[in-house]
Structure 1
Amino acid sequence: MPSTLVHVAVGGLVGAALLGRWFDTRSIAVVLVAAAVPDLDSFTSTLLPGSHRALLHTLFFPLLLGALLLYDTRIRRDSLVRTRWGSRGVVVAWVALAALLGGGIFPDLFTNGVNAFYPLHDAFYAVNGKAELSSTRGFVQTFVEFNSDVSPATTENFHYSTAVDPSPGTEPENVERIAPLASSGLELMLVILGGGVVGGRLLAERRRADGK
């Protein structure tokens, strides 16, 4: 499963692409933190079994935050965000929300799954598979299967292993706790690419500020 490092790397790519002239150390730091926020539900699974990949990975989480941000910045007469941080704050808030969704939730959704509609609907879903053009079968895809007889897992019968909570129930003293950094070549590529893009952008902004 994608590590928090991968989430942060993808969030960095989102921030580098969307922050525009507001890109600087503080702004990208906010965006990177936002991308890591969904993985905080790793710590809740010891108190609320099954909550990892559910409590903060539900699509209702960014939807709720987006609704609050939309109200504050577009509908509310005196925006709290705009009053406190100006236009920069509004842009950074929206980009952070995009990083939370695109960097924090999507990598898990598009690999081995999240509880996408928790708590209204308790079921883990994953959008993974393949899409190809065949000379004999035409267009073939396995991302969405409408006739599957397999019931999706729920918070009651499924557990994602984490360094905080490796297995359901009480852990033995010698349990191995693994904190993944990169679980595949693709994940390593994303970490290198995200770090390189953010680092390069920061260096370019610093050189520009120094007039070089």
Structure 2
Amino acid sequence: MPSTLVHVALAGLLAAALLPDRYATRGAMLAVLLAAALPDLDSLVSPVLAGAHRSLGHNVLLPALVTVALGYDLRVRDSSRLRDRFGTAASPVAWTCLAAFLLAGVGLDYVSNGVNLFWPVHDRFYSLNGDLLLSSRRGVVQSFVDLSPPTESEPVRTTENLHYSTGVDPSPGVESGTVDRVFPVVSAGWQLLLVAVGALAVALKLRRGPTVRD
């Protein structure tokens, strides 16, 4: 599964694409990168709350609430608290942080190993995996959407029967003192490439950022 570093690298690409140059300061870029790392903090809760990892911080309900709060403050209120505190940069930086949290933080895990999208309202892990093919004999073939009911061999995945191993919480229950705690950095060539490209994008954005003026 993608490490936190890989999530941060994708957030760097989002920051380079979404942040206007005049707002691309070190502080703004750091805020976006940290936003992508926030979902993985639920692994720290996993030892005391079973199934917290990929549930507590990896759902769409939290970003939905933040979206409503940002929309109200930045679009509805006569005087925005964020703008009063951080100036005109507040809006683009806040929305880019939200995009990083949702897409780089939650989304990347959603298309990898799965996340508990609607926790705690609905306890079920979902993942977006499959193929989209153009076949000369079968036409358009896709396997992303599978409406077949779960079977006994493939039961519905919930916090009761699914545990994601992390360096903080390698296995359910209490680990022995000799347990191997693994903290992944990169685990595939595409992840290493993403980290390198993300770092390059952030560096180039910072280089051309706040010096550009309208």
Class of the TM-score when normalised by the shorter of the 2 chains: over 0.9
The one-letter code matched in structure 1 to 2:25 is D
Q: What displacement does 1:66 show?
A: 0.7
Q: What displacement does 1:138 show?
A: 1.2
Q: Residue 161 of structure 1 is aligned with which of 159, 162, 165?
A: 165
- Work out whether residues 62 and 97 of structure 1, in 8 Å CA contact, stay in contact via their aligned partners in 2: yes
- Work out whether residues 2 and 186 of structure 2, in 8 Å CA contact, stay in contact via their aligned partners in 1: yes
- Work out whether residues 12 and 31 of structure 1, in 8 Å CA contact, stay in contact via their aligned partners in 2: yes
* 1:77-101 Cα shifts (integer Å, max 9, x gaps): 2211011111101211111001111
Q: What displacement does 1:183 show?
A: 1.4
TM-score, normalised with respect to structure 1: 0.94
- Work out whether residues 125 and 152 of structure 1, in 8 Å CA contact, stay in contact via their aligned partners in 2: no
Deviates more, 1:41-50 or 1:195-204: 195-204
Q: What displacement does 1:148 show?
A: 4.0
Could you say which residue in structure 1 is the equivalent of 2:20? 20
Could you say which residue in structure 2 is the equivalent of 1:171? 175
Could you say which residue in structure 2 is the equivalent of 1:75? 76
Q: Which consecutive unaligned segments of at least 5 residues does structure 2 have?
A: none
The one-letter code matched in structure 2 to 1:144 is V
The one-letter code matched in structure 2 to 1:81 is L
Q: Percent identity?
A: 48
Could you say which residue in structure 1 is the equivalent of 2:193? 189
Distance 1:128 1:167 in 2: 25
Pair 1:55 & 2:59 matched = no
Could you say which residue in structure 2 is the equivalent of 1:98? 99
Q: Which consecutive unaligned segments of at least 5 residues does structure 1 have?
A: none
Distance 1:129 1:182 in 2: 22
Could you say which residue in structure 2 is the equivalent of 1:42? 43
Pair 1:66 & 2:67 matched = yes
Q: What displacement does 1:130 show?
A: 1.2
- Work out whether residues 32 and 93 of structure 2, in 8 Å CA contact, stay in contact via their aligned partners in 1: yes
Q: Residue 204 of structure 2 is aligned with which of 197, 200, 203?
A: 200
Alpha carbon RMSD of aligned pairs, Å? 1.3
The one-letter code matched in structure 2 to 1:8 is V
Distance 2:145 2:185 in 1: 29
Q: What displacement does 1:26 show?
A: 1.0
Kindly tell me the number of residue pairs found equivalent between the two proteins: 208
Could you say which residue in structure 1 is the equivalent of 2:2? 2
Distance 1:114 1:6 in 2: 16
Distance 1:140 1:186 in 2: 25
Distance 1:83 1:184 in 2: 44
Secondary structure of the equivalent of 1:140?
strand
Secondary structure of the equivalent of 2:13?
helix
Distance 1:96 1:202 in 2: 16
Distance 1:9 1:86 in 2: 27
- Work out whether residues 47 and 169 of structure 2, in 8 Å CA contact, stay in contact via their aligned partners in 1: yes
Query: Which aligned runs of 4 or more in structure 1 are off by greater than 2 angstroms?
Result: 148-152, 203-206
